[in-house]
Structure 1
């Protein structure tokens, strides 16, 4: 695929980018280099390579959740900026109209 000014402008439009003339020329060069690199990768014979799903064969070691310390109601309200002794007090965010 050949990258030209029209291609860069179309991609910029799809990405909602304003591209100057100077940036357009730089993008043509950058995108051409990317496509050349991808073409080189396509030359590699991968017919005997298994698809890779995970980078390692390691398995996550999970532990069981155990409650170690329960926070009391008063401890939970202790650092609240405002509370009435039972509930957190917060600014009203929904107006009833």
Structure 2
């Protein structure tokens, strides 16, 4: 799943529970973080980890690869909900803004 796929899922009305089912993630997890390998890009695949697994580390090694924290999942959901009010913002625009935010280490 890419960042654009994730954005599209929620902008099209997909639920957190449906997302978790698709990704085979326990929907009861309170602290989920979104990671991506570098270089960050629109077509890069995302990985989702529990905070207690990563301890917030960035980079985080998983299956022999390094992944970098973009942001926590609830930050992502909050921003996505806000952009639903702005019909002129495309999924690509939002993805680029989120990647810019992550690259600046905010």
Write 1 or 2 for the structure with the bigger share of strand.
2
Query: Does TM-score exceed 0.5, indicating one fold?
Result: no
Write 1 or 2 for the structure with the bigger share of helix.
2
Specify which structure has the bigger relative contact order, considering alpha-carbon pairs within 8 angstroms and separated by 6 or more residues: 2
Q: Normalising by the residue count of structure 2, what TM-score does the alignment of the two structures yield?
A: 0.22
Larger-Rg structure:
1
